[in-house]
Amino acid sequence: MKMPSFTHSLHFRMSALFLVLLGLSIGGYYLWIDATVFNAYDSQEEQDWYENREEGELADLAQRLAPVLDQEARRDSILVSYSAGIGKYNAEVALFDAQGNNLLSDPDDSLATALAHSDPVLLSKMADDDWDFSTYPLDTDIDAYENRIIDVVAIGGQPDGAPRAYLAASFRPVTVAVDEIQSDWRNFGFRALVLVLVYVIITALIIMAWASRRLRGLTRGVEVFTAGDFDHRVSARSADEIGTLGRHFNAMAARIQTMMRELGAKEQFQRQLIANVSHDLRTPLASLRGYIETLSMDPDNLSLAERNRYLEIINKNLDHLDQLIERTLILSRLESGQVHASYEDFPLGELADSVLARCEAVATSAKVELELEMGQDPAGFMVHADALQISQALQNLVENGIKFNRPGGGVIIRLVPHAETIEVTVTDTGMGIPTEDLPHIFDRFYIGEKSRTRSALLKNDRTGATPPVSNGLGLAIAHKIITSHGSELNVVSEPGRGSVFSFHLPRAEATELQAHSAAG
């Protein structure tokens, strides 16, 4: 059963703890009172006399008195002697004749003075075996002697069988003066007040120690966290306010730790970005510097054809730098969320054809053939996506296939229709990707096998070909674009046999059908 929400509060728990301590205190006090004040016996010997020996001793005493009832001195001596023996049990005996008169003649005895007569009929009933001594035979006077009697034995001997006398055992009366009672009440009140104050102080100390112990644990946890142990968390199992505070602190600590990791990762990325951009810029800048120095140091000995060739190489390196900077900005905007996709329906075949047309010049320089395979009219294959971003991703994949291809190789874009998507594959016949580099090809500026990076750039630079776009950003941009469209850019490659990149785009018809289904 679910507990009410108020039971989880610190106020409720402290109140409950106070009530539990109060209950334990009252229970302990009751057990102490029951074992002392309300205990009917002062000792084990007294309890044994009342419960086991009293009845037998009173019967024996009656037998001893029967022969000497008419011998006053002998009779009184026996009674006084026995009374002295049971006085330590707060008990006494009385001897009554058949008419209920007290026969004990000792003038110093309390019973002889205070109790001169008792009802013989009542004494006769009490002598029966079935009399219940737990009752009050004289309920009009609670202090009457008859109400204190615990046993009565009839002493026979008359010719008609009637009792000659009755031997009664009783509790000794308790006499307390009024002044003593008032004094006791004053003492009791004072002691009770002292006990209440002591109880309140002890209870308050226990409750505050319990609450402060939990607060100290929370404080120590915060101190450890602020000291630099960002993995430390505080205990927050309780559902009250302190537990809630602990859970909020743990959530805040986890958030701060996550933010610090993110900041650390961003700082690491920035350092890596600067290092990689510097590395990628160094090659074209070195080439520019070399050709400019050549043109400036010996301009008279250069032919017009050599001048034009050097200027053309300089211009192509500048184009390469421009593309590198542009793609760095594109990737930065994609990762910061500043680029918002504009989805529309467009023919994927026409888009792929235009991408190949833009890459035709680069492919011709590298002696690589471009091809589009789709099996139907380019106006078909309508998809729902951002046309500009998909065009950028396709162009990066095609340029990557051209860049790492061999003379006479080819790059093929294939469009394969499925029920709700169009599968796009970009296949090249180039050098392939080493197995150890596959998990990292979509990382920014990842530098894998050297033959795929710097050497290729230098070779193109020496031949005057258009420098390829940096290998560290094209695939990263393509991967980011495809991922933002809810698809996945997959790659299958084998060294020496080329690579196959593939992803899926939703068909426009399927998108419209899903929209109509949701609206219906």
At 165, give phi and psi (nearest 5°): -160, 170
Tell me how far apart the 2 most distant CA atoms of the chain are, in Å.
Answer: 175
Task: Give the span between the Cα atoms of 9 and 255, in whole angstroms.
Answer: 26
Residue 306 confidence (pLDDT): 79
The answer on 136 and 206 residing in a single domain is no
93-114: average pLDDT: 72
Q: What is the C-alpha separation between 250 and 236, in angstroms, rounded?
A: 8
Residue with tokens 């059963």: 1
Whether 292 is in a domain gets the answer: no
Question: Which residue, 175, 204, 237, sits at the end of a domain?
Answer: 175
Domain count, the chain: 3
What lies within 8 Å, CB to CB, of 93 at 6+ separation is 58, 61, 79, 82, 83, 86, 167, 168, 169, 170
Residue 78 lies in a domain: yes
Q: Is residue 12 part of a domain?
A: no
463 shares its domain with 416:
yes
* Amino acid residing at 510: A
Q: Is residue 215 part of a domain?
A: yes
Q: Residue 136 in contact with residue 93, Cβ under 8 Å?
A: no
Q: Among 146-150, 406-410, 414-418, 424-428, name the one with the lowest average pLDDT.
A: 146-150
Residues 387-414: what's their mean pLDDT?
90
Which residue, chain included where needed, has tokens 């970009």? 426
Confidence check: pLDDT of 331 > 80: no
Token pair in block for residue 75 = 């009779």
Helices (H), 387-452: 387-403
Domain of residue 146: give its range.
Answer: 40-175
Kindly state whether residues 205 and 61 are assigned to the same domain.
no
> The CATH number of the domain where 125 resides is what?
3.30.450
User: Do 128 and 216 reside in the same domain of the chain?
Assistant: no
Specify whether the CB–CB gap between 76 and 106 falls below 8 A: yes
* Residue of higher predicted confidence among 465 and 151: 151
Position 463 pLDDT exceeds 50: no
Q: Is residue 108 located within the same domain as residue 149? A: yes
Provide the 10 A C-beta neighbour count for residue 260.
11
**Percent residues over pLDDT 70 in the chain:** 75
Return d(Cα 441, Cα 421) in angstroms, integer: 25
Q: What does the pLDDT read at residue 134?
A: 83
149 and 66 assigned to the same domain: yes
Stated pTM of the model: 0.44
In a domain, 257, yes or no: no
Contacts of 314 (CB under 8 A, 6+ apart): 288, 291, 292
**For residue 88, what is the DSSP state?**
G
Does 140 share its domain with 161? Answer: yes
On whether residue 298 sits in a domain, the answer given is no
User: 47 and 193 share a domain?
Assistant: no
Does residue 65 lie within any of the structural domains?
yes
